[in-house]
A and B are shown apart, each in its own frame.
Chain A
Amino acid sequence: MIQRIRRFDWTQFGTIVVLLLLSVIFIFSARYQSGDVSLSGKALQQVVWALIGLGCYAGAAAFDYRRLAEIHWWVYAGAMLSLLLVFAFPEKNNAHRWIPMPGFDLQPSEFAKIALVFSLAAVLSLPSTDVDEPVTFLKAALIAAVPFFLIVVEPDLGTSMVLVPVTVALLFCAGAPARPIVILIGTGIGALILIGVWLTWLPDTCPFLTDYQKSRVLVYLNVNQDPLGAGWNKLQSQIAVGSGGLFGKGYLKGTQNILGFLPRTVAPTDFIYSVVAEETGFAGSGVLLALYATISVRCMRTAVKAIDLFGRLLAVGIGVLIFSHVFVNIAMTVGLMPITGLPLPLMSYGGSFMVTTMGALGLVQSVYLRRRKV
C-alpha cells in the first residue's frame, strides 16, 4: 500500500484538484451576474460533479487497465449503441445530442470519445497487429469512422473533429509508418483550407455543412460579417479576453461577463476561459494554460513509462484527447478558431464530460501506478 502511494503520480492529481477548484470558483463568478449568488446554483452543482468525478478517478486508478483490453469491444459497442439512442429522443437546440435523464442530460458522444481511445489502443497493441500493414490503417480508420459519422449526423461537428487528432496520434505512437500519416495530415489541412475558400466565395453551394455551421466558419474568416448574429459571441469573447489586460479586473469584476454580454447560458460552459481571462488577465490565463500543459506532460510521461504498449497508447490517446479539447476551446475563445461547442476539460460546467474526463485521467493514473520499475 505504502508502495502504491509512493508510486502515485501526485503531480498529475494535484494539478487536477487545482483545476477543479478553479472551475467551481469561476463558474460561481460567471453566474454571479444573473443573481445566482446562492450556493445552490450551478457552482454547487459543479462541486457535486467534481466529487462524482473524483470518485470515478479513484475507481479508474484502482482498476487494472490491462483488463480493459479484454472488454474494450463491449465498451465500444455500448458507446455506439448510446450514440444511436440519441435519435430516439426529441431534438433539443436543433440537434440530437442528449439522452434525457432524471436531473440532467446525458451526452453519449463524451463516452464515445473514450471508448474510441480504448478500442484503438487495444487493437493497435495486439501482438497479431502489424502496424506496417495497410490493413491496420484501414482497421483503425474504420474504428474511428463509426463514432465520427454518428456524431457528425447529430450534428456536432466540433466534437467529431477531436476524434481525428486522437486517431492520428495513436497510429503514430503505435509505430505506424510516418509517411502515410504525414500525407493524411497534409490532406486534412488542405481540405480545411478548401472549405474556407469555398465558403468565403461561394457560401451557398457548399454541401454537408448546415447554415449554422457555415455562419460560424464565415464569422471566423471575417469578424465583421454579422456583429449582431453569429459574430456576437466571438466579438464579445475577444473583447472580454482583451479587456483583461496583464493582471485582470479582479475576481467577480469581469464586466463583460457580469453585465451579460457573454450569453448567460454559455459563459459557464464553453466560454469559461474568457471569464478567467477577463478577471485574472494574462497572468491567470497563462497559469491555467500551464496547468493544462502539466497534464499533457504527465500523460506523456506515463506513456513513456508504461509497462506495455496498451498502457502507452491509452495514456497517449487520453492525453491527446484532453489536449485537443483544451486547444480548440481556448483557440475559439481568443478568436483563433471558429466557434464550436467544445467544453474546456475540468473547467466547464457539465456532468457527462466531467465524469469521462476524470475517469480517463484515473486510467492514466492506473497505467502510471503499474509502470515499469526502472
Chain B
Amino acid sequence: MRIRRTKQIPNLRVYTVLAVMLGSQLILLGALWRLQVANVAKFEDRIQIQSLRRVRLAGIRGKIYDRNDLCLADNRPAYSIAMFLENVRKPGPWSKTVDSAMQVMQTVADATGLEPAVDEDTIRKHTRLRLPLPLILWQDIGPQPMARFVEQAGDEPGVDIYTRATRSYPYSPYTSHLIGYVGRADPGKLNETERYNYYLPEMGGRAGLEKLFDPFLRGEAGGAVVQIDVSGYHHGELARREPTRGGDLRLTLDMEVQLLAHQALGTNCGAVVVLDPNNGDVLAMLSGPSYDANRFVPYITSADWRRLSDNPDKPLLNRAVAGTYPPGSTFKPLVGLAAATADPNAISTVYDSPSTFRIGRRVVHTHGHGEVDMRQAIEQSANVYFFKTALACGLEPIIEQSLAIGLGQKTGVEVDYEAGGIVPDTNWMRTAGKGGWTDGDTCNLAIGQGYLTTTPLQMAMVTATIANGGYLYRPRLVQAYRAPGDDHYTDQPVRRVGKMDWPQSALTTVRGGMRDVVMAEKGTGTRAAVEGLDFAAKTGTAEYWTTVNGRRVTKNHTWMIAFAPFDRPQYAVAFVIEDGVSGGRTVGPRLQILMKGLLGKMESEGRIQTSETGPLRSEIRDQRSEVRTQESGNRNSAILTGAKAQVSDSQLPVSLFAGQGGAS
C-alpha cells in the first residue's frame, strides 16, 4: 500500500486542532479558578457548612375504605416530643452535650409527668449516628401530657412537638383479618436507587391487604437535603421533596353487614362470610376470635404477641379463608345438583331412606326418613337418600361439579393467605397414600365428610351460585382502587368465570329443598327462620376427632349456608361455628340474628317489600319434631363417618368405611 507523503498538507491544520484543544483546557482552568478560588467568600462558608445529608421521608400510606366510604385503615397524627440536639449542645467533649440533653429531658419529664423513656446511652448513640435528626423522647403522647407540655415546658430550649402520621384501624377487631396491619419497616432494604444518609421510620404492610397491596398503598418517599455544620449538627434545610400519598382502596365490604355478622357470631370460634350472589362481592368476612390490629402499630410488644400466638383459639388465623372444614350436610345440595345433571330423573327418584344401610360388609346406623324424594331429602338431611343417589350416579359427576364450582382450589380473593381445601378423587387418594377408593368413600363424600374439606368462603361461593341460578363468580374483596393523584376510583372487574350446566328443574328442586329447610315443618334449620323473610338454607354438622387431656373425643363443626331473599337473592351466607352441637341448633339461632339484621337493612334501604312475607313460622313450627329430625339427621351422619375437620393443623381425616376410622 502506498501512502501519501505528509508534506502535501500544511501543518497549520494540526496546530489549529492543538490550539482548539489547549483553548478548551484553558476554559476548564477558568471554571476551576472560579469554583475554587474566585468565590472565596462563598466557599469559606461552604467549608464551614460544607456537608449535606440526605434524609428519606416516608411516603404517606393510602387509606382503605368499605363500600360506603367508611374508613377502615386511616392515618392519624401521632404527637411526639422531640429534642433538637443542636439547641442543647455544649462546647467541649460530647459528654457535656449528653448531660445537657439529659437535664432538659428531666425538666420536661417533671413538667409533663411522663417517665423518661430514653436513657443516656440512647442519647449518646443518637449523637453518634443520627445527630442532625431530632431525637424522639416520647412517642405518641396522649392529650394530657401534650397539654401539660405546651403549658409548662413549651419554651424549654431544644424540645418541641413533633408530628408524624401513624396508622389506625377504627373498626379493628371486626376487620383485622382482612385489613391486616402495618409494622415498622426497614426502608433501607427497599432496594431503591437513591441512597440516603438517614432513614426516618416507616410503616410497611405485614398482613392482610396492608401486606398484599403494600407497594400500592405505601406512596413514594420524599427526601430532604439537610445542611450540617462542621460538628455535624443540623444547620438548616437546603431542599425538600415532599413525599407523595399512596393509592386508596375501596373494598366491597359493607361494614353494616360485617358488624351484623360479628353480632351473630358472638364470641364463638368460627367464621361468617356474606357474598353478594349477583356479582361475588364479599359483603362481610369475619373470623372469630379476632384481635386488635392497632396493637401492632408501630410494633407489638413481645408479651402481646405471645398472648396472640399461644392462644389455643388461634385469633390470628383467618378462618374464613384459611380454615378448612368438612362441609358436612351443606354439601348435599351440590351432590343433588351433580346427580341431576348426570341424570335428570334423579330429582324425582324416590328412595327408601331407612335407619340402617349396608355398604359392603359394614352396616351403617342412621335415622330413617322413609320414602323421600330429593327435595324432602334436602329438607330433612336424609343421609341414606344421598348414599343411594351418589352410588347411583357414581363418583365422577360429584367430583366434576365440585371442581367446576371452585372447591379444592383457592378462590383468588385478595387475602394474604388462603387455603384451597381438598376435593378427594381417586388420584388424590392414591397420591395421598389412602389406598383405593371404595363405595364407602363415595358415601362419605355424598354427605360432605371424609377427606373433603372446604373453606367458609368456598361454601359461600357455592351458596351464591345456587342462589343466582348457576352463575359462577370468583369472590371480589377490592371493589376499586384510586391511584395516587387520581380523583376517581377505577373499578376492579367483576370476576364472572362461567355458568354451571345445571338443569333448571334440578335447580328448582334443590332450591325448594333448601327453602323447606327453614320454612317447612320438618326442616332441619327452622331455628333460623325470621318472621317476614322468605329465605333458604342448609344445615351441616361435621364430626371430627380431637385430643382433650390425652383422650380422643369427637367434636362437631357446625355449619349453615343460606341465601336471602328466596326469590331475588341479595345475600349468600356461609356460617361455621367450631365445636358446636349441630348445624340447626348451634348455628340456626345465630343465623337468625344475622338474617333479622339483613332483613332490617333491606327494608330500610327499600330493597324488599315488607308485604312480601312468607308463611308465618310460628304457626307451622313444631318444636319437638324439628328437634328430633335435626338431631337424628345430623348426629347420625356424624356417627356414620367419624370424620374430622382440619383447622389448619394436619390431623389426618379418618374414614369409617375405609376401615381406618375409629368406629363407634
Q: Which residues of A contact B (CB under 8 A)?
A: 66, 69-70, 125-127, 169, 172-175, 224, 226-229, 232, 235-236, 238-239, 241-246, 255-256, 259-261, 263, 277, 281-282, 285-286, 289, 292-293, 296-297, 300, 303-304, 306-312, 316, 319-320, 323, 326-327, 330-331, 334-336
Contact = CB atoms under 8 A, between A and B. Distances in A.
A345 to B, nearest CB: 13
A327 B28 CA distance: 8
18 contacts: A125-B3, A126-B1, A127-B2, A127-B4, A169-B17, A175-B9, A228-B223, A239-B46, A241-B32, A242-B43, A255-B51, A256-B50, A282-B32, A293-B21, A293-B22, A296-B22, A312-B14, A331-B28
Nearest to A322: B21
- Give the interface size class of chain B: 35 or more
Contact of B25 (A255, A282, A292, A303): A292
Nearest to A173: B13
B597 to A, nearest CB: 53
A242 B36 contact: yes
Contacts of B363: none
Contacts of A125: 3-4
B5 A308 contact: yes
Interface of B, helix, strand, loop or mixed by DSSP: helix
Interface in B3-49: 3-6, 8-9, 11, 13-18, 21-22, 24-25, 27-29, 31-33, 35-37, 39-40, 42-43, 46-47
A263 B195 contact: yes
Contacts of B33: 282
A282 B36 contact: yes
B581 interface: no
B28 A289 contact: yes
A307 B43 CA distance: 51
B391 interface: no
Contacts of A307: 6
Contact of A330 (B6, B21, B28): B28
A69 B1 contact: yes
B238 interface: yes
Nearest to B19: A300
B47 A245 contact: yes
A261 B4 contact: no
A242 B46 contact: yes
B225 interface: yes
B225 A172 contact: no
Nearest to A246: B37
B507 to A, nearest CB: 56
Contacts of B4: 125, 127, 308-309
Nearest to B239: A227
Nearest to B2: A127
A227 B223 CA distance: 10
A113 to B, nearest CB: 17
B31 A334 contact: yes
Given A327-B24, A327-B25, A255 B50 contact: yes
Contact of A172 (B13, B47, B51, B224): B13
Contact of A300 (B15, B24, B195): B15
Contacts of B51: 255-256, 259, 261
A319 B17 CA distance: 10
Contact of B225 (A228, A260, A334): A228
Given A66-B3, A228-B239, A172 B16 contact: yes
A236 B52 contact: yes
Interface in B342-357: none
A42 B223 CA distance: 31
Interface string B97-120: 000000000000000000000000
